[in-house]
Structure 1
C-alpha cells in the first residue's frame, strides 16, 4: 500500500492507496525565504507600489480606519499588526472587521484569530461590520449597475489602511486588495449584485483582467479610495501559513504584483485528468460548505468523465448560513436543482453561483463528501457521504478498479491544479 497524509477535521490522517494506482499529489509549492515575516512586511511598507512610504502616509493624515479580515480568511492579521502598530503610536485609529455578508465574529474569533495577542490592547477600537443593519453611505452605482453602499464608519476618518492576504479565488480571480472594501464593508445588496457576475464564465479563478466581477469591484472601490486615501497591505503565505511575500501601497496595483507570487505557490501543474480526486479542504475554509465549496470549484475541471471527486471538508458549521442552506436544500433531485438554478439566474440570490456548477459536474461524474455532517444532511443536498477519507478511497477502488488514476489536492480551498499543455 502507498501511504499519504492529509489534514482532515484539523487532524493528520493517513490514507492507504493500492500500489496498482497511479497517484499524484499537489499542494502549495514551497518558497525559499530566509527573512523574518515582520521584516518582509516592513520592507513592503518602506517601499510600496505607487505610493509614499507607510510612514509618510501616516504623517499625511490625522485619523485612520484599519480594515482587517474576519475568521473566514487565514490572513495572519496579528503578524501584520505587529508591524503596523509600531507606526500607529499616538495616532487616532479604529479597526473594522470586514465580514462582508458573513456572520459577525465572536469574541473567541477576535481573541484567537483576528486580533490574537493584541486583543486586550485593541478590543475597544473594534467595529464589527453588519451588512444588513449598519448605516451606510451611498456611492451611486457602477457602470455595470451595482448599487454602491458602504459602511458609514469610513466617513469618520481621513484615510483607510486595508490589511489583507492574496490567494486564488474561484470567481474573483484572487482574494486581497479591493476585497477589503467590496465585499468587506459593503451593504448586502451591493455584494449580491456584484457577486451575480460570478455566473459569467469570465469570472474565474486566477483571472483578473477581463473578469467582469473583479473589474466591477475595482470600479466600485475606486469611488471610495478617491475620497479616502487608502494604503493597502497584503501578504502572500505558503502552505504552512508563513508570510513569504508582502506588497503594499496602491490597493489595485499591489494585487497584480502579489498575485504573481500567489500563482507560483497555489497553481501547480498536473499531467492529466484523473479518475479519483481527493479534494482536501484545510482550515479555516473547512468550517462550512459555503466556504468549503471552494475546494470543489478549484479542482472540478481535472476529473475525467465517469470519475469521482471526494470533497473532504469537515463542516463543523454545517452547510452555511440560513439563506445558503435553504438554497442547497431547495430541490429533492439534481434535476430540481437545475430548475431552481435557472430561476435564480433570472432573479439572482446571493450564493446562487455556488450551486450552478454542481449539476453539470454530476451529469457525468460523481461528487461525494467526507464530512462531519450527518448522512441525512448530505443527502438533503443531493450528494453522497463517504464515512471517512479511507472509506472514500476504498469505495472508489471498488467502483473504478485497480488501475484508477488518483490525484490528492492538499489545501484545495486555495490550490488550483493546472493541466500541463
Structure 2
C-alpha cells in the first residue's frame, strides 16, 4: 500500500506492506455540505448557550479577541474576517485588540502573522503579542484549584468584552485543545503555566489525549476561563488540509463541549500492538519543531509494544522549539535520568518546558525513536537521545533490521488527530 505522510508543506509517499495497520481520524473522510465560510457564519448566527456576539458587543468600547499563534493551524484567514464583522455589526466604532495567545512559545514574527491572518487584517487591525515572561503585563485573579497563582494578560482583564477563536483537536495532556485553553496557557503568565503543567499533573493518568473527566489540567484551565470572564468562543474542527469541517460558537464551555464531542466522534481509533509505529505531527505549521512533535509521539506510544520502535517524521526546520527543553536532554546521560529527575520536582519548582521534557522522556525511556527531519535538526536530535534518519524509507529499513522482516507495522499518518484506545496496558 502507498501511504502519504504530511511533512512540512509537502506530502511524502511511502510504500508499505499490505498487512500494515493504518490508524486515521474519520476527519479524512468527513465531507461538509457547506463551505468553510458558510460553516463559520452559521455558527456565529446560531451560537450555543449564548446570545450572538454582535449582541454581546452592544455598548462595549474595549473588546479583546484572543487568537492562536503561529504554531496552531487555526484557519484565521477564514474565521477572523467573519468574527470581526459580526462583532462590529451593532457596534462599528468599538475598539478591538487582537491578542495573540503565545502561551509559553516564542513571539510570532511579522511574516508569520501575515501568513496566518492575511496581510489586509495585519495592516488594518491592532495586534498585540502576549509575552508570558513580562510580569508587568499580568493581572492577578486569585488561586487556581491546584493552588497555583492565576495571572493573565491585563489587556484581557481590562476588556469590556473578552472573546476568543481557536480550533479543537485531541490534546496529549489537556484532553482537547480549544475553548478555555486560549486563557490558560494562551494568555497566562509563565508562572501560571508552570503550575498548571507541573510534574504531578502531567503524570496523572487522567491527563491524557481525549479525556476531560477528572483531568486536573483541564480543571485549572476551565477555572481560569471563568475568572477571566471569557464571554464567547468561535472554535472550528479541521481536516488534514487544515480546512474547516465544522464550527462551534457561543458559551465558552457549552460550545467547547459540543465541539469536543464532534471531534471525539471522528478521532477515536482502536489501538494495536506494533513492533514499529510510524507517525507525523500533521505537517506545517504543527511540525516546525521537536517540542510540538512530542504530541504525535504519544499516539505512537499508545500503539507500540513495550520495546517497539517509533518513527517520527516532522520537518523541525525551526529546531528544538524550547531552549530549556533541549538543554534538559542534552545535559542528561539518558532519558530515564530526565524522567526520574522531573518526577521529583514540586509544583512551585517547575521549570520552562518541563512538561514536554517529562512526556518525551517517558517515551524515550521505553522506546527507541528514529526521527526523520530536516538535516538542520540532526545534531539537536542526537543531543536529545534520538537517532536522526534522512527519510522514512531508511528509518523503516533500520527498524525492520532490528525487529525482523515479519515485524508488525502500524502507521498513524497524522498522530495529532487521533485518540487511541490502547489495545493493552503499556
- Aligned to 1:188, which of 184, 187, 190? 190
1:326-383, Cα deviation, whole Å (9 max, x unpaired):
1232302234324432443573223222233445544553222112244432221112
- 1:167 & 1:116 partners in 2: Cα distance? 27
Unaligned residue ranges in structure 1 (runs of 5+): none
- 2:378 & 2:346 partners in 1: Cα distance? 29
Who is 1:212 aligned against? 216
Secondary structure (helix, strand or coil) at the match of 1:417 reads strand
The Cα of 1:84 is off from its aligned counterpart by 1.5
Who is 1:111 aligned against? 114
TM-score calculated relative to the size of structure 2 = 0.91
| RMSD between superposed Cα atoms in Å | 2.1
In the superposition, relative to structure 1, how do residues 43 and 200 fare at CA in structure 2: closer, same or farther (>3 Å)? same
- 2:17 & 2:269 partners in 1: Cα distance? 24
1:281-322, Cα deviation, whole Å (9 max, x unpaired):
222121111111111123311101332111111211111222
Contact 1:17 1:393 in 2 (8 A): no
In the superposition, relative to structure 1, how do residues 53 and 380 fare at CA in structure 2: closer, same or farther (>3 Å)? same
1:245-282, Cα deviation, whole Å (9 max, x unpaired):
11111111211110011112332334x21111001122
Who is 2:62 aligned against? 63
In the superposition, relative to structure 1, how do residues 151 and 357 fare at CA in structure 2: closer, same or farther (>3 Å)? closer
Contact 2:170 2:419 in 1 (8 A): yes
1:131 equivalent in alignment to 2:135: no
1:400 equivalent in alignment to 2:399: no
- 1:143 & 1:86 partners in 2: Cα distance? 37
Contact 2:325 2:357 in 1 (8 A): no
1:95 equivalent in alignment to 2:93: no
Secondary structure (helix, strand or coil) at the match of 1:191 reads helix
The Cα of 1:386 is off from its aligned counterpart by 2.2
- 2:191 & 2:366 partners in 1: Cα distance? 35
Who is 1:278 aligned against? 278
1:52 equivalent in alignment to 2:54: no
The Cα of 1:40 is off from its aligned counterpart by 1.2
- Residue correspondence of structure 1 range 249-268 to structure 2 within 5 A: 249-268=250-269
The Cα of 1:392 is off from its aligned counterpart by 0.9
- 1:73 & 1:67 partners in 2: Cα distance? 13
Greater shift in the superposed pair: 359-368 or 390-399 = 359-368
- 1:69 & 1:240 partners in 2: Cα distance? 18
Paired positions, count: 413
1:230 equivalent in alignment to 2:234: no
- 1:246 & 1:415 partners in 2: Cα distance? 19
Secondary structure (helix, strand or coil) at the match of 1:256 reads helix
- 2:363 & 2:290 partners in 1: Cα distance? 17
The Cα of 1:35 is off from its aligned counterpart by 0.8
- 1:217 & 1:285 partners in 2: Cα distance? 22
- Residue correspondence of structure 1 range 2-401 to structure 2 within 5 A: 2-18=1-17, 21-27=19-25, 28-87=27-86, 88=88, 89-115=92-118, 117-122=120-125, 125-133=126-134, 134-196=136-198, 197-225=201-229, 230-270=231-271, 272-281=272-281, 282-344=283-345, 347-372=349-374, 373-401=376-404
- Aligned to 2:418, which of 411, 415, 418? 415
In the superposition, relative to structure 1, how do residues 115 and 190 fare at CA in structure 2: closer, same or farther (>3 Å)? farther
Unaligned residue ranges in structure 2 (runs of 5+): none
Contact 2:102 2:131 in 1 (8 A): yes
Contact 1:344 1:352 in 2 (8 A): no
Greater shift in the superposed pair: 69-78 or 141-150 = 141-150
In the superposition, relative to structure 1, how do residues 156 and 220 fare at CA in structure 2: closer, same or farther (>3 Å)? closer
TM-score calculated relative to the size of structure 1 = 0.92
